[in-house]
Amino acid sequence: MPQIELLHIDCMKYMASLPDKAFDLAIVDPPYGLGDRTMKGGCDKNTQVRFGSHISKGWDVLAPTAEYWKELFRCSINQIVWGGNYFGLPAHRTFIAWDKMTYPPTMSQVEQAWTSFDEPARLIQINSNQPGRIHPTQKPVALYRWLLKNYAKPGQRILDTHLGSGSIAIACDIEGFDLVGCEIDADYIKAARHRLAVHLSAPRLFEATPAGLPQQLSLGDDVLSDGT
């Protein structure tokens, strides 16, 4: 049964504690460094209402440092990086283009992911519209399930350095993959843990795990105190 750990920690601190190639696959969605162009640029009042207070957190001001990429590639065997076109990553044949299928005028209609795999480029269409979103750039669970089905193998461990809304945690639980997710923001980690707990408490009509066996889950201990 999958083990899901959601940690309130700076991902740099966590990765520094890992041995080389500790994870089989890292699926990450780091800040793109677009700042106000992501959170405020051109947003109308409806967009402000849709994203709520999360729109002004300012987490997208700085892109990951060179040290982040060094650690990510050291502690994981393969990587999928959303927004990889912003980071000057090494050229690879495989990239993923996600058609969001709903097109708000102030948001990108397509998003790209860089991958370390040597396979043909892929296009995936999954609707980005999600009621009750808890993060302005929240990605659908279905998108992460597609990534896991196409790029992860049974028994592999998954790392997410920027957990955000926790969609990947729900996808890993459904698809049966162990996950460690790091999130530095106290509000987001609390919301992601709650979202996962609600998912785990819901009845499952197509449960892969035999009935009666407990689901292993660790919401993780806070390494950062709230408010830091």
Give the 3-state secondary structure of the chain. CCCEEEEECCHHHHHHCCCCCCEEEEEECCCCCCCHHHHCCCCCHHHHHHHHHHHHCCCCCCCCCHHHHHHHHHHEEEEEEECHHHCCCCCCCCEEEEECCCCCCCCCCEEEEEECCCCCCEEEECCCCCCCCCCCCCCCHHHHHHHHHHHCCCCCEEEECCCCCCHHHHHHHHHCCEEEEEECCHHHHHHHHHHHHHHHHCCCCCCCCCCCCCCCEECCCCCCCCCC
Residue-level pLDDT at 130: 82
Q: Which domains does the chain have, with CATH numbers?
A: 4-218 (3.40.50.150)
Per-residue confidence at 39, pLDDT binned at 50, 70, 90?
Answer: very low
Higher pLDDT, 201 or 216: 201
Higher pLDDT, 58 or 150: 150
Residue-level pLDDT at 45: 40
Condensed to tens digits (0 to 9), the pLDDT of residues 110-148 reads: 999 999 999 999 999 999 888 888 887 899 999 999 999
Condensed to tens digits (0 to 9), the pLDDT of residues 81-117 reads: 999 888 888 887 789 999 999 876 767 899 999 999 9
Condensed to tens digits (0 to 9), the pLDDT of residues 17-28 reads: 999 999 999 999
Residue-level pLDDT at 206: 54
The pLDDT of residue 212 is above 80: no
Residue-level pLDDT at 58: 55
